């Protein structure tokens, strides 16, 4: 191949025919065929259109094979040590055209690794591929804490041929920070509907905002609420053991608000400093007797032997930078959110209100 490239691989992974790809690039299918075969080199403006249509950069599209072993940006805040020579399970995706290597420590359990990453510096890593390197061009990173995001990732694998999504557990604040840092494609944040403008104001990007679903946040307590939480007992009573969420989490904000209402200091509540990484861990801690209560999405109570005391209705939103909207996996995500089959599955898995799932939100 005189002019090596990855156009055909990425086009096929994105589910585009040669005619569709050629139309987006403004050339004939025959011309695209010659480019894919490496027999001719495209003009600059054609190369730019091809890269834009495939959600990557010209450099990545036409990089030589040896570039696959290059040193890439590493994002692994959840790994205690990134000593040169260490190894970690990782996934790789191109975010705004840049390859990003992420540790799987904060991903949903059971997520397959694309590669084994070896830190080469504090924020750089080399990768040993376990599969096809081109999958990094059609992989979507989603950051957030709503339990439904793992279902979104599962449906992407099933319903979007050639594309896949990886869900990373992150608080509202962490999700927005990762979006700003360019290490995720989608940030999911949740809050009461009247808090939406305030949440969006924290985002420095020009984003498309889509509704994922609506659900209730509330107290997770032992089955039947035997300690009569908020019926006859509150934080003033001794013997209440809490499981909290990290700073920046919406659940922690609700706990802090209730403590402020009761005029109770954090150091007077057992377990205030004990943090669960996600909503599932909150329910598990209560179900296993390690805590008496915590705050989480209602859906996690449906698979554990616990009870739920509602606090309020919330909306989960997906924030996607507009510059990412041509990314193949982002396009598939937007299409999937409109699917009646996905909505039915999500509403049944909840309880989730999916009436406005996929709706673009403007404020």
Instruction: For the chain, list the domains and their CATH numbers.
Output: 7-63 (1.10.260.40), 68-129 (2.40.340)
Under the banding of pLDDT at 50, 70 and 90, the label for residue 78 is low
- Residue 86 pLDDT > 70: yes
What was the pLDDT predicted at 64? 54
Residue 308: φ, ψ to 5°: -130, 130
pLDDT value at position 14? 83
Q: What percent of the chain has pLDDT over 90?
A: 61
pTM, two decimal places: 0.82
- C-beta of residue 116 within 8 angstroms of C-beta of residue 107: no
pLDDT given at position 252: 96
Q: How confident is the model at residue 58 (pLDDT cuts 50, 70, 90)?
A: confident
Contacts 24+ apart (CB under 8 A), 27-34: 32/7
Q: How far is CA 293 from CA 245, 288, 327, in A?
A: 12, 11, 41
Q: Read off the pLDDT band of 82 (50, 70, 90).
A: low
Q: Could you read off the pLDDT of 134-168 as tens digits, one per residue?
A: 888 889 999 999 999 999 999 998 888 788 999 99
pLDDT (mean) for 217-229: 92
- Tens-place pLDDT, residues 308-344: 999 999 999 999 999 999 888 999 999 999 999 999 9
**In this predicted structure, which of 15-19, 31-35, 230-234 has the lowest mean pLDDT?**
230-234
pLDDT on residue 81: 52
Mean of the per-residue pLDDT values of the chain:
89
| Residue 98 CB burial class (10 angstroms; 0-12, 13-18, ≥19) | middle
C-beta of residue 184 within 8 angstroms of C-beta of residue 142: yes
């Amino acid at each position: 191949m005189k002019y090596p490239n990855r156009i055909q691989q990425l086009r096929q992974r994105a589910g585009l025919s040669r005619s569709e790809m050629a139309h987006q690039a403004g050339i004939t299918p025959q011309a695209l065929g010659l480019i894919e075969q490496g027999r001719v080199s495209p003009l600059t403006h054609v190369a730019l259109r091809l890269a834009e249509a495939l959600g990557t950069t010209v450099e990545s599209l036409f990089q030589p094979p040896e570039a696959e072993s290059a040193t890439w940006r590493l994002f692994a805040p959840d790994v205690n040590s990134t000593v040169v020579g260490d190894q970690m399970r990782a996934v790789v995706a191109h975010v705004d055209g840049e390859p990003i290597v992420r540790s799987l420590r904060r991903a949903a359990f059971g997520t397959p690794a694309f590669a084994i990453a070896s830190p080469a510096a504090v924020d750089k890593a080399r990768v040993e591929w376990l599969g096809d390197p081109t999958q990094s061009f059609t992989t979507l990173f989603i950051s957030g804490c709503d339990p439904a995001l793992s279902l979104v990732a599962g449906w992407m694998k099933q319903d979007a041929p050639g594309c896949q999504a990886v869900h990373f557990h992150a608080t509202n604040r962490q999700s927005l920070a990762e979006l700003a840092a360019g290490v995720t494609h989608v940030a999911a944040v949740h809050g009461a509907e009247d808090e939406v403008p305030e949440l969006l104001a924290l985002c420095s990007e020009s984003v498309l905002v889509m509704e994922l679903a609506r659900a209730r946040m509330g107290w997770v307590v032992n089955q039947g609420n035997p300690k009569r939480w908020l019926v006859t007992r509150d934080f003033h009573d001794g013997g209440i053991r809490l499981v909290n969420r990290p700073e920046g989490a919406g659940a922690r904000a609700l706990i802090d608000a209730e403590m402020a209402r009761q005029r109770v200091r954090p150091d007077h509540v057992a377990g205030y400093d004990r943090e669960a990484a996600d909503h599932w861990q909150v329910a598990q801690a209560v179900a296993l007797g390690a805590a008496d209560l915590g705050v989480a999405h209602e859906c996690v109570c449906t698979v554990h032997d616990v009870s739920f005391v509602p606090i309020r209705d919330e909306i989960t939103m997906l924030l996607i930078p507009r510059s990412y909207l041509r990314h193949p996996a982002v396009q598939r995500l937007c299409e999937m959110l409109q699917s009646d089959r996905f909505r039915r599955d999500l509403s049944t898995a909840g309880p989730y209100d999916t009436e406005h799932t996929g709706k673009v939100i403007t404020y």
